[in-house]
């Protein structure tokens, strides 16, 4: 019982440190904010104008509402996908701070069981990701409803929530594993800057991955965050696509689904929603196992 109480207190302590650092919280949301800013400044207009022009060439007009809803949903899915990755990454900073300040060494010689400290870091990273991710998701829903772009069903809403939970778990296991090899604050800051800058491109938040060269497209499919983006697109954009298929053009809707990466092509194999959920689950289990292996090896090394 004392071990679980210590786990609760350490997890609570890590989470409070993260949330009290307003700059850290802001930078954890920097990638989603960049997506929103780029969309509001010019990407949104470029996308909607391009799609409307394509429809005009087909002799179809009067689809501004459906196209706007589709573009809004694409942008918000990208912002949400970035948040599922960057928030857990910034929350991992507590691990580095404790190493730099010698707190990890103090915890290692304390009477608390050795598994408690790493578990508390992981749980605080997951909790931070879910807490802030839920807020970002709520903002996305409000945006869609306020702008008249709400075409989500109840199943879509629960799908977004499920994708958020699994994505945060997958990101947390991967990032805790990676950050565990860092020792200095400077190295972690460099990782944070580089990763936060690239993640939007690599998962297709700024532009669909179908616009990338074939080799880059294949590479992105080995990044778990790409499947987060794919799931968020399917759930957030699915209703708008159905509306376009019903009121505008079904072939046009199918081409949009392909162009905007609602499915993935992995060596000729089409990956849909079930495969995306499966990929994130496999990623979470794989890196959870690697974290346990690293912890076990570290314990054996200390015993020697």
Domain membership of residue 14 (yes or no) is no
| pLDDT number for residue 283 | 95
pLDDT, one tens digit per residue, over 76-95 is: 998 899 999 999 999 999 99
Distance (Å) of CA 178 to CA 71, 109, 165, 282, 294: 34, 24, 20, 17, 11
Domain membership of residue 42 as a residue range: 21-303
The answer to whether 75 touches 38, Cβ cutoff 8 Å, is no
Phi-psi region of 150 (alpha: psi -120 to 50; beta: other; left: phi over 0): beta
The answer to whether 178 touches 195, Cβ cutoff 8 Å, is no
| pLDDT number for residue 304 | 62
**Higher per-residue pLDDT: 263 or 46:** 263
pLDDT, one tens digit per residue, over 251-262 is: 888 888 888 888
Domain membership of residue 8 (yes or no) is no
Domain membership of residue 2 (yes or no) is no
Domain count, the chain: 1
Give the Cα separation of 155 and 139 in Å (integer): 18
Domain membership of residue 234 (yes or no) is yes
Q: Where are the beta strands (DSSP E) in 165-296?
A: 264-266, 269-271
Domain membership of residue 179 (yes or no) is yes
Q: What is the mean pLDDT of the chain?
A: 87
pLDDT at 1 over 60: no
Q: pTM value?
A: 0.91
Domain membership of residue 1 (yes or no) is no
Domain membership of residue 278 (yes or no) is yes
| pLDDT number for residue 34 | 80
Domain membership of residue 6 (yes or no) is no
């Amino acid at each position: 019982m004392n071990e679980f109480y210590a786990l609760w207190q350490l997890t609570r302590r890590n989470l409070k440190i993260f949330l009290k650092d307003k700059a850290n919280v802001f930078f954890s949301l920097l990638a989603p904010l960049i997506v929103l800013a780029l969309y509001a400044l010019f990407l949104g207009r470029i996308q909607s104008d391009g799609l409307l022009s394509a429809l005009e060439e087909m002799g179809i007009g009067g689809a501004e509402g459906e196209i706007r809803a589709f573009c809004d949903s694409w942008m918000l899915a990208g912002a949400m996908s970035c948040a599922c990755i960057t928030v857990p990454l910034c929350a991992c900073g507590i691990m580095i701070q404790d190493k730099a300040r010698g707190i990890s060494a103090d915890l290692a010689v304390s009477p608390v069981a050795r598994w408690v400290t790493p578990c508390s870091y992981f749980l605080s990273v997951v909790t931070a990701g879910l807490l802030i991710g839920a807020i970002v998701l709520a903002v996305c829903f409000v945006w869609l409803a306020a702008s008249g772009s709400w075409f989500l069903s109840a199943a879509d809403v629960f799908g977004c929530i499920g994708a958020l939970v699994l994505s945060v778990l997958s990101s947390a296991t991967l990032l805790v594993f990676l950050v565990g090899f860092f020792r200095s604050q400077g190295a972690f800051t460099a990782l944070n800057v580089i990763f936060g800058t690239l993640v939007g491109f690599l998962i297709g938040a700024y532009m669909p991955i179908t616009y990338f060269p074939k080799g880059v497209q294949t590479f992105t499919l080995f990044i778990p965050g790409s499947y987060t983006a794919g799931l968020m697109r399917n759930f957030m954009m699915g209703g708008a696509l159905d509306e376009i298929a019903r009121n505008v053009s079904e072939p046009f809707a199918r081409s949009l689904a392909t162009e905007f990466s609602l499915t993935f092509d992995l060596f000729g194999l089409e990956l849909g929603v079930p495969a995306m959920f499966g990929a994130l689950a496999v990623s979470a289990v794989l890196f959870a196992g690697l974290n346990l292996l690293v912890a076990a090896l570290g314990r054996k090394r200390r015993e020697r």
